[in-house]
Amino acid sequence: MRADARMDPAGKPAVLYLRRSTDRQEQSIGDQRTALIRYAAEQGFEILDEFIDDGISGTSADARGAFQRMIAEAKGKCRFRFILCYDVKRFSRGDLDEVGYYRHLLRQRNVEVVYATEQFADDFTGELIRPMRQWQARQESVDLSRLTARGQMSAVQAGSYFGSTPPWGYDYLYRNSRGEPYQIVRYLPSGEKEVYDPDGILKIRVPLGERPPRMDNDTVRLVLSVLERVDVIRRIFDMYVRQGLGTRAITNQLNREGVFSPRRGWWGKTHYTGAWGNSTIAAIIRSRVYVGDTCWNKRTMGKFHRVSDGRSVPRPRQQAGLIEANPKEDWIINPNTHEPIISRSTFEAAQKILAGRDKTSTFRHKLLGRGRTSNFLLAGLITCEACGHRFSGWSQKWKRKVKPPPAERHQVYLCGGYLHKGNSVCRRVAIDKQPFEDFIVEQVRLKVVSILDGGGMSMLRTYVQEELAQALAHPKAELVRVQDERARLKADTDRLLASLTPVNAEFIDEKLLEIKRRLRELEDRVETLAQVAERDLDLEAATDAALAYLGRFREVLDRGAFLEQKEFLGAFVAGITLHPFEKRGVLQMRDMIAASFSTAGWTPDVTVKTHRPREWTVRFRHGIRAWKAAA
């Protein structure tokens, strides 16, 4: 807090809560602070601290990190008895249930919320007026949501394009409020953006991570980009329709020629390699944008409203803020909004081919080895030394000549660089699943045996206790850190939704999907840490549970369920680096297990990992018949 904002220590202890969303018409943080400092001086409050949520919507308290820290402090050893806000809108735009919950929680801690510009009588009149003002604040956000959805729909129907980046082969043409074109923006593979005037003369170059200049009332259309990019799109459809090549073959061809691919997601990211992927080719073939049509409303992202049957309709409360795919009948397709790159006959021919291949691929090219549904023990643990991509599990397709087909499909590990970007990135070398997994499991078995049968159980007990004590030294601090990350992500969601425009809809769509996946992980982590933080750890019982878990290794590896086996291996295996061409690699195991426990205050989602840098390394290679550890 600034020194000039400190009040007389004899005053009433208070903190300031300052919030502003992305609405430019709202009171700025500086203006709010000035007004509250003046009010505090007049009323005799002592300002101890301030909590600021800038650029964050007030429609949900979960998304506001500073607000949650303020509430957490009020629930703990609270230094203040008052929270000063500019008005009810700054405190919250949530519904009455949410606002009432937090006010009740604060009142239980003897903390009062004071609104500087709105004086509510301390009687039944104030009890009636304050909820009404709070409802009005909420309703403003709901009305804005409805108007935003309606405005987006009108903009699309008028020919505007929604998207964070233009589809490959197109640039953005910006028009001012009078409909006059004034700039063309071209996105470069480097992440920079070039801004041209309507005559094609370069004006400025926007650096990586920054956005091109524009006005709030601009409209955006698509115009053809440079000929090289347009020709790439035409070539893709020609190879697919006329030459009969699949997406993998097209990917290989473009990567061999060194043709730059579109840069997916936010253009400020730096991990772009320029290589094409199978999914990118498939997305281009499916996109109607290349026949001159604009397709919008494939997904719903708004908090309060969605577009259905050409109208803005309310979303159920339980769906607020969720990203949902819309049925095709709700898609809005506006034909002939920009110059096409391919003919409609070519596009329709591509869709017929794509539909036929989708049916056969579902039956004959099923990819296994993804996430917790995988039947590959080592999925996600193997890295290709040649190209840096992860290995994936793969079930070989049946050969047509083999009749009848085998009962089980041959399963192997393949490099993800080859699977997703073709043999121009990495070659196809199939590592048989069963013998490789058997070798890795045996190495883990030997490691555990050396621990259990080596006479080091007392040392191991000491080690486990050190690990457990260190892991739980500050559970509440870890909980606060995870809650802060969750609040930041929810704040990012609010900012993205509040800044939705015809230009950035695709970008927002992709970012929100990433945020949603991460939030699911954090929600589970918060619940787990909260349970651990609320109870004392019986260190001896937890140690016994850890050693018992370690002692079950034979039972787990021999007769355990697949997911249990996978969890056990993941607790020991730090990583596997495999060079597929030379059939050699390195297995790194943790010096101590990173296990999950379900007793003595532990829950299955809490993990303990070694803090020591040592790792147990096994170098191995494939001999004539089997994998063997190197001498």
Tens digit of each residue's pLDDT (9 = 90 or more) over 156-212: 777 788 777 899 999 999 998 888 999 999 998 888 889 999 999 999 998 877 778
Mean pLDDT along residues 471-493 = 71
Of residues 447, 399, 477, the one with CA closest to residue 550: 447
Mean pLDDT along residues 457-465 = 61
Distance CA 387, CA 421 (A): 11
Average pLDDT, the chain: 77
Flag whether pLDDT at 519 surpasses 50. Answer: yes
224 token code pair: 């053809």
Flag whether pLDDT at 472 surpasses 60. Answer: no
| Peptide bond connecting 198 to the previous residue in cis, omega within 30 degrees of 0 | no
Q: Give 579: exposed, middle or buried? Use CB within 10 Å, 0-12, 13-18, 19+.
A: middle
Q: What is the pLDDT of residue 474?
A: 55
Give the global pTM: 0.58
Residue with tokens 């007004």: 35
Mean pLDDT along residues 262-289 = 76
Q: What is the pLDDT of residue 591?
A: 59
Q: How is the beta sheet containing 391-395 ordered, strand by strand?
A: 391-395, 411-415, 431-432
Distance CA 331, CA 100 (A): 38
pLDDT band at 449 (very low <50, low <70, confident <90, very high): confident
Flag whether pLDDT at 582 surpasses 60. Answer: yes
Beta-sheet strands, E only, within 219-372: 219-224, 294-296, 299-300, 305-308, 311-314, 324-325, 332-334
Contact yes or no for 171/185 (Cβ under 8 A) = yes
pLDDT band at 612 (very low <50, low <70, confident <90, very high): very low
- Amino acid at site 391: F
Flag whether pLDDT at 531 surpasses 80. Answer: no
* Residue 490, CA distances (Å) to 63, 99, 398 in order: 4, 18, 46
Element (DSSP H or E) covering residue 417? helix 416-421
Highest-scoring range by mean pLDDT, 43-57, 219-233, 293-307: 219-233
pLDDT band at 505 (very low <50, low <70, confident <90, very high): low
Region of 553 (left: φ > 0; alpha: ψ -120 to 50; beta: rest) is alpha
Strand partners, 332: 296
Flag whether pLDDT at 349 surpasses 90. Answer: yes
For strands 181-187 and 193-196, give the pairing.
antiparallel
Q: What is the pLDDT of residue 501?
A: 62
Contact yes or no for 121/150 (Cβ under 8 A) = no
For strands 294-296 and 311-314, give the pairing.
unpaired
Of residues 626, 168, 214, 595, the one with CA closest to residue 439: 626
279: CB partners within 8 A, 6+ apart: 420
Phi, psi (rounded to 5 degrees) for 26:
-75, 160
Contact yes or no for 549/602 (Cβ under 8 A) = no
Q: How is the beta sheet containing 181-187 ordered, strand by strand?
A: 202-206, 193-196, 181-187, 170-175, 219-224
How do residues 81-137 score in pLDDT, each as one tens digit?
999 999 888 898 888 888 888 988 898 989 999 999 887 766 666 677 777 877 777
What is the rounded end-to-end Cα distance, in angstroms, of the chain? 63
Q: Give 73: exposed, middle or buried? Use CB within 10 Å, 0-12, 13-18, 19+.
A: middle
Q: What is the pLDDT of residue 70?
A: 92
Q: What is the pLDDT of residue 579?
A: 92
Mean pLDDT along residues 215-239 = 91
